[in-house]
Amino acid sequence: MRKVVVHRPGGFDRLVVETAREPAPARNEVRVRTTAIGVNFADCVVRMGLYESARKYVGWPITPGFEFAGVIDAAGPDVTGVAVGDRVFGVTRFGGYATHVVVPSHQVVRVPEGLSDPQAAALSVVYLTAWYALFELANVKPGMVLLVHSAAGGVGGALLQLARVAKCHTVGVVGSTSKVPAARSLGADEVIDKSREDLWRGARCYAPHGFDVVLDANGVSTLKQSYDAVAPGGRLVIYGFHSMLTGEAGRPNYPRLAVDYVRTPRFNPLDMTNANKSVMAFNLSYMFDKQELLATAMKQLLSWLGEAKIAPPPVTTYAFDDVRRAHEALQSRATVGKLVLVP
């Protein structure tokens, strides 16, 4: 098999394609010969050595990757629900950038008819992130007004689509005029183009009394203002810190990281109580072993997909050996939707 290996943290040059023996599935596990592999911003954070759960569960060297699609080519004892030969997609706690991936069988589901392998590989992480943020943490209800940062990205687009299913009113934020049509097509009722207007002035126009939910993966560049934009009784949901993770050739800028860490707002429980606001945060990679949660989320998402209430994100494919170019494109922040590696 072939896999991408990062031996030590750094920039794009740390992504090296190597050969290895194909892993064998153990009890309740399946091995998937991958045909498409989702690329997420979290993979860039892993490569930089700044992803806490990567250090906790794997260490160095590490193979990034959280999601994939492909065909089951081997199964361990006691596997139920899927079988060798099934076309599936699923999630893995790292190790996804490989031509063969072994995971517990509850972490894969069959690919629905009409869905391509790259589309299937692009689904899991963004939709599971959006589903958990909206329905488990924010507890959204019809009529709520939501502010969605990075609305044309993978998770941002999934948030817009699921919020539309929940009958919420959404204000999407994008960083360039070219991304406005994408945000609108994904379900944004209003779009704020940061390249042409002041973000927070626009936000106040659309929600003068504040937002019921603000969804933010930017980090220090917007967190304080996002909290201020939450209405009394509302929630700020945090699922990333993307604006902190920039650097030449994809390498982390440690002096800037130190400054941004100091600048990151600390939310005082006394102040939050008086303001009647909640701050919630999560990391999806800690949840892949929660079998019931995954099953509930995927059942609901596949149902909405079958009813055409949601759609796969727009996909741009890269050859497996072009993994460095895919990371470079993702960190340029010029992409729309999801990037997918094709072995």
Other beta carbons within 10 angstroms of residue 295's beta carbon come to 13
CA-to-CA separations, 85 to 33, 72, 116, 154, 214, in angstroms, rounded: 10, 5, 16, 29, 42
Closest listed residue to residue 119, CA positions, set 80, 158, 148: 158
Q: What are residue 316's DSSP bridge partners?
A: 339
Contacts of 292 (CB under 8 A, 6+ apart): none
Would you say residue 297 lies in a domain? no
CATH number (domain holding residue 57):
3.90.180.10
Would you say residue 10 lies in a domain? yes
Would you say residue 299 lies in a domain? no
- The tally of domains found in the chain comes to 2
> CA-CA distance, 138 to 280, in Å (whole number)?
8
Residue with tokens 């999801």: 338
**Is 16 in the same domain as 63?**
yes
> CA-CA distance, 60 to 57, in Å (whole number)?
10
Would you say residue 152 lies in a domain? yes
Q: What local confidence, expressed as pLDDT, does residue 247 receive?
A: 63
**Is 170 in the same domain as 208?**
yes
**Is 143 in the same domain as 198?**
yes
Would you say residue 104 lies in a domain? yes
The one-letter code for the residue type at 175 is: G
Give the three-state DSSP class for 215: strand
Would you say residue 306 lies in a domain? no
Contacts of 193 (CB under 8 A, 6+ apart): 174, 175, 176, 177, 179, 180
For 58, the token pair is 């794997």
Would you say residue 187 lies in a domain? yes
Q: What is the pLDDT along the chain (343 residues), one digit of tens a residue?
A: 999 999 999 999 999 999 999 999 999 999 999 999 999 999 999 999 999 999 999 999 999 999 999 999 999 999 999 999 999 999 999 999 999 999 999 999 999 999 999 999 999 999 999 999 999 999 999 999 999 999 999 999 999 999 999 999 999 999 999 999 999 999 999 999 999 999 999 999 999 999 999 999 999 999 999 999 999 999 999 999 887 776 667 887 888 888 888 899 999 999 999 999 999 999 999 988 888 999 999 999 999 999 999 999 999 999 999 999 999 999 988 888 899 999 9
Q: What local confidence, expressed as pLDDT, does residue 248 receive?
A: 66
Give the three-state DSSP class for 271: helix
**Is 55 in the same domain as 139?**
no
Which DSSP symbol is given to 218? S
Cβ density class 219-255: b for 16+ within 10 Å, e for less: bbbbbeebbebbbeebbbbbbbbbbbbeeeebbbeee
Q: What local confidence, expressed as pLDDT, does residue 259 receive?
A: 87
**Is 61 in the same domain as 209?**
no
Q: Are 19 and 13 in contact (CB under 8 A)?
A: no
Last residue of a domain, one of 284, 302, 324: 284
**Is 131 in the same domain as 280?**
yes
**Is 244 in the same domain as 161?**
yes
**Is 115 in the same domain as 207?**
no
**Is 258 in the same domain as 277?**
yes
| Residue 231 half-sphere exposure toward CB, CA atoms < 13 A | 15
**Is 67 in the same domain as 133?**
no
**Is 110 in the same domain as 208?**
no
As to burial, measured by CB atoms within 10 angstroms (0-12 exposed, 13-18 middle, 19+ buried), residue 53 is middle
For 319, the token pair is 């050859």
The verdict on pTM exceeding 0.85 is: yes
Would you say residue 294 lies in a domain? no
Q: What are residue 68's DSSP bridge partners?
A: 37, 90
**Is 143 in the same domain as 35?**
no
Query: Domain range holding 104?
Result: 2-123+312-342
